Amino acid sequence: MRASHFMKLVFFLLAYGMGYLGLRKRAEGWMMQVWHIVYIVAVLLLVGLGVYDWEVARTPLVFRVIADNLLEFLISPLLYVGIGLLARSLDHRKG
């Protein structure tokens, strides 16, 4: 179970790093702040659930499903695409 948590953390950090590197040149400053806030809040929630799972008791199934769905959302390209489309839309309005 701990190896699974570690692998999920690695993929989460890789997705965050790729998003940061890919979007920092294209996205507006406020979009990157939203990007960071989404990831910070999500990592705090996921680490909190992981600590509970390791130290207190097995996390209830409903929370594990929510955590898995949140992780899948964060490592999917959905945030990249959304911020990219928004940046493109704002670029067209400027010029």
What is the largest distance, in Å, between two alpha-carbon atoms of the chain?
A: 56
CB 79 within 8 A of CB 27: no
| Residue 62 resides in a domain | yes
Taking only the tens place, the pLDDT of each residue in 49-67 is 888 888 888 888 898 898 8
Total domain count, the chain: 1
- What burial class does residue 66 get, using C-beta atoms within 10 Å of its C-beta: 0-12 exposed, 13-18 middle, 19+ buried? middle
Kindly report the pTM of this predicted structure.
0.71
Answer whether residue 95 is part of any domain: yes
Domain, as residue range, for 82: 46-95
Residue 29 phi, psi dihedral angles, 5° rounding? -60, -40
List, for residues 5-33, the tens digit of each pLDDT value.
788 888 888 888 888 887 777 777 887 88
Query: Is 41 inside a domain boundary?
Result: no
More confident site: 83 or 39:
39
Mean pLDDT for the stretch of residues 23-51:
84
Which residue in the block uniquely carries the two structure tokens 């489309």?
Answer: 85
